[in-house]
Amino acid sequence: MRIFYAALMLLVMTTFAQAKIHTEMVEYKVGDTACEGYLAYDDALTAKAPGVLIVHDWMGMGPFAKKQAERIAELGYVAFAGDIYGKDTRPTNPKEASGAAGKYKKDRKLLRERAAGALEILAKNEKVDAKRLAVMGYCFGGTTSLELARSGAEIMGCVSFHGGLDSPTPEDAKNIKAHVLVMTGADDPSVPPAQIQAFEEEMRGGKVDWVLTAYSNAVHAFTNPAAGNDNSKGVAYNEKADKRSWEEMKSFYQELFGAAK
């Protein structure tokens, strides 16, 4: 009996040792714009898995978005961190980031096109079940995720982490086919109560299945350790909100897709 259990444990340990997260940069085009995204999945996958598009914050497709893609892949999904700005735009400071993000916030049609282009790349991947897709994003990426949903994209879920909730065309909520999960900081100056109220009215008007969670003592960018810890700046990391929001996202995906791993 001891020999049997020893052999079983060796098999389990070998299986875990062999499984690893495969990552690669993926070049693609949206219209005439060259983009570069980041694909991540567990190389032990043997069947098509749900695909999750991750949209970067205002600093563009970089280390934070890549890390989140890897974490999503560890859950058993195929993750793709899309590139909204294009591969030639990689902000290096807040001023550049503000300019890059502002361009797309002013042109929601272009923002939707770039997000749809990234979603298409994910959906076409041979490891992805194209009927089980979701989008998630951080800050600017949260705004983008909601815009993709408002466009009528064929996605099951839409998740926003501390993203802007405003919409120049709230009537587009009627196009949303996805279940929506919004997680915001209760003290986020970028998402004031009036914006939250308008968003809730928009979702109700569009008859959307939505959830909005506000985390106490959290301000903008509460999931990003690089944001520091000074709430008075309106941007700060909050470990408790970060962990709670990740668990809420996991439950959301489990409800949509079933147990992945």
Three-point CA angle 119, 96, 151, nearest 5°: 25
At residue 261, the pLDDT reads: 54
The pLDDT, as a whole number, for residue 19 is 64
Per-residue pLDDT at 260: 60
- Whole-number pLDDT of residue 191: 98
Residue 17: HSE in the Cβ half-sphere, 13 Å Cα cutoff: 6
Residue entry with tokens 């909730």: 165
Q: What is the mean pLDDT of each run of 10 residues along the chain (261 residues)?
A: 43 51 98 98 96 98 98 98 97 96 98 98 98 98 98 98 98 98 98 98 98 98 97 98 98 90 54
Which residues have CB under 8 Å from 259's CB, separation 6+?
Answer: none
**Closest listed residue to residue 174, CA positions, set 202, 154, 198:** 202
The reported pLDDT for the residue numbered 79 is: 98
